[in-house]
Homo-oligomer: A and B are copies of this chain.
Amino acid sequence: MSILADVARIAGVSKSTASRALSGRGYVSTDTRRKVEAAASELGYVVSSTAASLVTGRTRNVGVVIPYINRWYFAEVLEGIEAALIRAGYDLTLYRLSTDHDLRRRVFDYFLVRKRVDAVIAVTIALSPHEVEMLQALGKPLVAIGGRVAGIPSLSIDDVETSRLATEHLISLGHERIIHVGGDQEEQMDFRVHSQRYTGFQRAMEAAGLSNADDFREAEFSISGGYAAGLAVLGDPRTRPTAIFAGCDEIAVGIMIAARQLGIGVPHDLSIIGIDDHPLAETLGITTLAQRPGAQGGRAVELLLEQIDHSDAPAPDEHLLLPTGLTVRSSTGPVRTS
């Protein structure tokens, strides 16, 4: 392992000149720069980012806190963030936060604080005012994905509006017996995504004068969850709805599989719409409201880097609402008047 002093010696210059030559900051003649570079590559020298961070206070490392890895939306967001960070020359340190409160505190108190990261991206994690304050006091830019966090820039889709649109699509096709299969209303993720989607659904139904009592069915946000709920909901032909708004495409896929198993024709006997534009939604022809989580991750990184580069300016406390696009496929159709 060679260090800067070695490079300087071989190149016949001082440490400070060698540092300037390699980092590109300050005046160095083209000639000496070349000499230094030659010496560096001869020795196979690479800077110690630890030493550099110690003096500059910047680590070129971003912390990402995220509740799941093994779910489509989160994995896509993570991939988007990773790609954008690598491109910008940043490292990504990953913290998966389960619902374990102790772990969450440990991550914030022990890991994020220790000058290891320059900034933090919170994916569908509602940072508490205290957590925001703590990190901001340390001068760390923050960006939130998936929901509004007071005091910091954030971006997400409009869950209520998106759900309203999805439901209206079903209503416009003449459906009246519509139910929502979505996430547990009690044990929510942060930002109450589940309730928001249910709310959007209810608004559309009320606006059309279609409200009915038994309009909700709980499901885990996964294909298996949708499948189980689908079997339960579709089992009884008398109470079966003519259309289902699924809380996400994974649920929609599960319902689709269940419907096929029960011999229920889609969209002939049942229309299904989801949210996400999961690859399987395309494969199975499921109508959906498309969002692009990877792009959201990339955008979040942009917002973050802007803050890092203009650390003097106050954090822009704005919430970006990203559009979702209705993508009509073959899982939705006009209601069949029997």
Contact = CB atoms under 8 A, between A and B. Distances in A.
Interface residues of A, number: 52
A320 interface: no
Contacts of A51: 54
Contacts of A79: 69-70, 96
A43 to B, nearest CB: 13
Interface string A30-53: 000000000000000011111101
Contacts of A48: 54, 114-115
Contact of A93 (B69, B94, B107, B260): B94
Contact of A91 (B54, B116, B224, B279): B116
Contacts of A116: 49-50, 61, 91
Interface string A60-104: 010000000110100110110011001001011111100000010
A232 interface: no
A207 interface: no
Contacts of A5: none
Contacts of A313: none
Contacts of A69: 69, 75, 78-79, 82
A280 interface: yes
Given A114-B47, A257-B284, A283-B224, A1 B138 contact: yes
A227 interface: yes
A80 B172 CA distance: 46
A59 interface: yes
A111 B72 CA distance: 27
Interface string A281-299: 0111000000000000000
Q: Which 5 A-B pairs have the closest CB atoms?
A: A70-B75, A224-B283, A49-B114, A50-B53, A48-B115
Given A69-B75, A82-B94, 19 more contacts: A46-B113, A48-B54, A48-B114, A48-B115, A49-B114, A50-B54, A61-B93, A69-B69, A70-B79, A82-B96, A86-B95, A86-B106, A92-B94, A93-B94, A94-B94, A222-B279, A224-B283, A227-B283, A228-B283
